[in-house]
Amino acid sequence: MSAYDQAGLARAAVSEVGAALAALAPDTVEQVCDELLAARRIACYGVGREGLAIRALAMRLFHCGLDVHVVGDMTVPPLHRGDLLVVSAGPGAFATVLALQGVARAAGARVLCFTAQPDSQSARAADRVAVIPAQTMADDREAATVLPMGSCYESALLLLGDLVALRVRDRTNQSSVDLRNRHTNLE
């Protein structure tokens, strides 16, 4: 029976996610912030584990004081010109993401798409694309990564969301206390 190397697997997983973040285009965070800060209202959407990372981004942007909502919640308002839909389509496209992109664009809103597939249908349907160069379900090769399926992309998306929130905080001249004051007290 072989020994389970938890520490080694953890180092390999962190290395894979770190490599994906290190390979981002140098202006990725600034371009994402430009879109977010130019928007009057922001709606966020993703499916599965990507959806969890997008919800985390929405929460952090709310803490930064932005008017942000999660598609599917009962209180999400309609989007119009001047608004932004933020979606994640790591493997390139999901039917629901494409449909929401179409609705948002028809209403005059801009679309920001996080993806690992820059030439995909969802990327082409977006006004701005943030490419996260990480393995997804579209290119799942067991020998290529220690993390399963799309975990590297999803984890990198989660951390990129925090990097974006930190930059939004800085660009809007806020402190960590300002963000903390917007955190819910209903926990």
Catalytic residues: 154
Do 53 and 136 touch, CB atoms closer than 8 A? no
Cα–Cα distance measured from residue 72 to residue 109, given in angstroms and rounded to the nearest whole number = 17
47 CB burial (10 A radius; 0-12, 13-18, 19+): middle
Cα–Cα distance measured from residue 56 to residue 118, given in angstroms and rounded to the nearest whole number = 23
Phi–psi pair at 26, nearest 5 degrees: -60, -25
User: Among candidates 15, 14, 42, 49, which has minimal Cα distance to 165?
Assistant: 42
